[in-house]
Amino acid sequence: MNALGFLLHLLPLHSCSSSVTQLFEAWLNEHGKTYSSVEEKQWKLKIFADNYDFVKQHNNIGYSSYSLSLDSFADLTHHEFKASHLGLTAVLASSARRNVGEPREVRDIPDSIDWNQEGAVTDVKDQGSCGIDFLSSCYRFLGL
């Protein structure tokens, strides 16, 4: 038995409420997620439940300038998300700073630039189920 399997056996059998489990199943379908084993799915359900509790707690505060929702990363721990989605590592960033060359020649700079014409504007990426839409559809599914 691997370490993950051992840890899962330490968790209570019904550690997540049935409504959170149903929400997780709806979320899995929404995002097309699958896992390689029952143990991995149980582990991801626990992470999802922890993240769901965090989202609810934050949104219930009431004085925040923003609200949170469950997105396609809701089955990742903070560490997993940081490791896979937060861009340059410190090593890469420091090597990039060392490779800064001599200043380039100054040229005439136009008053304005149309970045669409320059080909620098792309479609919005990975918005998925942004905002409250996903949660409200799950609440309707669950009858909450």
Question: How large is the greatest C-alpha to C-alpha distance in the chain, in angstroms?
Answer: 68
User: What would be the CATH architecture of the domain defined by 19-61+68-84+129-144?
Assistant: Orthogonal Bundle (1.10)
Give the pLDDT of residue 123. Answer: 79
At a CB cut-off of 8 Å and minimum separation 6, what does 132 contact?
A: 67, 69
Instruction: Record the tokens describing residue 104, joined without a space.
Output: 């380039």
Q: With a cut of 60, say whether residue 44 has pLDDT above it.
A: yes
Q: What pLDDT does residue 58 have? A: 92
34-43, 54-63, 111-120, 135-144: the lowest-pLDDT one: 135-144
pLDDT tens across 59-95, in order? 998 888 889 999 999 999 988 988 887 766 656 555 5
What is this structure's pTM? Answer: 0.53
Residue 88 near residue 94, CB atoms below 8 Å: no
Residue 50 Cα to chain centre, angstroms: 13
Instruction: With beta carbons less than 8 A apart as the criterion, state whether 73 and 126 touch.
Output: no
